[in-house]
């Protein structure tokens, strides 16, 4: 009798285990691991002390990226180098077995005043940028596996955007289009030959003048042997986003044997006077999230799916839209998973094994 009940208990435990594994992974992280897809979030190290923030991050994501902590505005707040905030990101990732994406080495935004108002000559700026890329990449060598080397270099016409690095005054290649972008990639490769090097762009995710220009630029890079490994598609989008055009863009980029990372996804919704999105919009949002994920999963070269934050409590969208839009992420302000979370989890679970 005793023996029987023990065996029965063993059998029911076994049944439970079988049931659990038949149901598949229960977090984005475990489902992402199984589908060989990096599931990332942009993070603010100042929030690591908020218990649900850290717990949700560690449970749901296998990759993180510093939202601001590795930008010039933080690392070079003063003229020297200050790696404290970026190092916190790396420590968190190490403690939880996650990968780290680096963001970003060259951008016309989020630069310190001493740099933007320093009236440097092109020769001096070139020296400053070369040194910055070398020192930051060497500091994070072996920790940061992929870098956004250059962020948002093009305007909506597809031309090199006016910027401190291009032509105002630039690093000495003013008027030569994306030659300065190419130079930055060469310096990056020289500094850390093992890191994957990405060009990251906004509003060039579908098919338009800007994404055509990105395509032409990176195709030229590949043909000329400029060291580039991938393109980051930011994806600050709305439910009206055209996912077919997006899939076509991933298609042509991955055909160049470049990786694609979805780097800054959020699907912002209009907010009512109560600061809330409607249930209908949350459902539309869930559909867009799962279509974006499916477009990525269809291409083995699309290797990372990252959101710009994790909870609507801490998202840049609110300040960026002056409070008119928000609710763009997986978790609500109390860290409750939203329909978008469920949709992405079930789309990931539907992929038993991904062939790479
Ligand atoms: C944003 C951050 O989220 C904010 O905290 C910061 O004040 C401004 O930058 N594209 C990018 C990101 O590449 O670096 C931006 O991040 C959002 C748009």
Q: What is the pLDDT of residue 31?
A: 97
The 3-class SS string of the chain reads CHHHHHHHHHHHHHHHHHHHHHHCCCCHHHHHHHCCCEEEEEECHHHCCCHHHHHHHHHHCCEEEECCCCCHHHHCCCCCCCCHHHHHHHHHHHHCCCEEEEEEEECCCCCCHHHHCCCCCHHHHHHHHHHHHHHHHHHCCCCEEEEEEEECCECCCCCECCCCCCCCCCCCCCCCCCHHHHHHHHHHHHHCCCCEEEEEECCCCCCCHHHHHHHHHHHHHHHHCCCCCEEEECCEECCCCCHHHHHHHHHHHHHCCCEEEEEEEEECEECCCCCCCCHHHHHHHHHHHHHHHHHHHCCCCEEEEEECCCEHHHCCHHHHCCCCEECCCCECCCCCECHHHHHHHHHHHCCCCCCC
- Which atom of ligand 1 is the closest one to the Cα of 200? 13
Q: What is the pLDDT of residue 352?
A: 66
Active site residue 192: no
Active site residue 264: yes
- Which atom of ligand 1 is the closest one to the Cα of 263? 13
pLDDT (average), residues 270-286 = 95
Q: What is the pLDDT of residue 318?
A: 84
Q: What percent of the chain has pLDDT over 70?
A: 92
- Is there an atom of ligand 1 within 6 Å of 111 CB? no
Catalytic residue among 60, 152, 182, 201: 152
What topology does CATH give the domain 27-349?
TIM Barrel (3.20.20)
pTM (two decimals): 0.93
Give the residue, by CA position, lying nearest to ligand 1 atom 13.
Answer: 151
In the chain, where the domains are located: 27-349
pLDDT in tens, 160-198: 999 999 999 999 999 999 999 999 999 999 999 999 999
pLDDT in tens, 300-354: 999 999 999 999 999 999 888 888 999 999 999 999 999 999 999 999 999 965 4
Which comes out higher in pLDDT, residue 237 or 354? Answer: 237
pLDDT in tens, 30-73: 999 999 999 999 999 999 999 999 999 999 999 999 999 999 99
């Amino acid at each position: 009798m005793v023996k029987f009940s023990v065996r029965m208990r063993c059998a029911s435990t076994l049944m439970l285990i079988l049931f659990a594994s038949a149901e598949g992974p229960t977090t984005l992280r475990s489902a992402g691991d199984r589908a060989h897809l990096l599931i990332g979030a942009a993070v603010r190290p100042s929030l690591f002390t908020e218990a649900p923030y850290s717990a949700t991050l560690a449970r749901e994501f296998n990759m993180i990226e510093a939202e601001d902590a590795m930008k010039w505005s933080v690392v070079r707040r003063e003229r020297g180098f200050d790696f404290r905030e970026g190092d916190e990101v790396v420590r968190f990732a190490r403690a939880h077995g996650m990968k780290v994406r680096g963001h970003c080495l060259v951008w016309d935004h989020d630069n310190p005043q001493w740099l933007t108002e320093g009236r440097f000559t092109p020769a001096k700026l070139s020296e400053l940028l070369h040194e910055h890329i070398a020192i930051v990449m060497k500091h994070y060598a072996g920790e940061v596996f992929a870098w956004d080397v250059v962020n948002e270099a093009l305007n909506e016409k597809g031309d090199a955007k006016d910027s401190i690095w291009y032509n105002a005054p630039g690093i000495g290649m003013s008027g030569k289009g994306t030659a300065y972008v190419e130079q930055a990639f060469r310096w990056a490769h020289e500094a850390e030959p093992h890191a994957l090097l990405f060009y990251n762009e906004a509003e060039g995710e579908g098919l338009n003048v800007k994404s055509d220009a990105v395509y032409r630029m990176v195709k030229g890079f590949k043909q000329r042997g400029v060291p580039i490994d991938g393109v980051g598609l930011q994806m600050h989008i709305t439910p009206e986003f055209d996912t077919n055009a997006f899939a076509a863009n991933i298609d042509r980029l991955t055909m160049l044997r470049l990786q694609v990372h979805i780097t800054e996804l959020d699907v912002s919704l209009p907010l009512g006077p109560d600061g809330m999105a409607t249930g209908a919009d949350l459902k539309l949002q869930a559909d867009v999230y799962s279509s974006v994920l499916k477009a990525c999963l269809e291409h083995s070269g699309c290797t990372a799916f990252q959101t710009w934050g994790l909870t609507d409590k801490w998202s840049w969208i609110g300040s960026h839209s002056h409070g008119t839009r928000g609710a763009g992420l997986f978790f609500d302000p109390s860290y409750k998973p939203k329909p978008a979370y469920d949709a992405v989890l079930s789309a990931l679970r539907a992929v038993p094994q991904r062939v790479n």
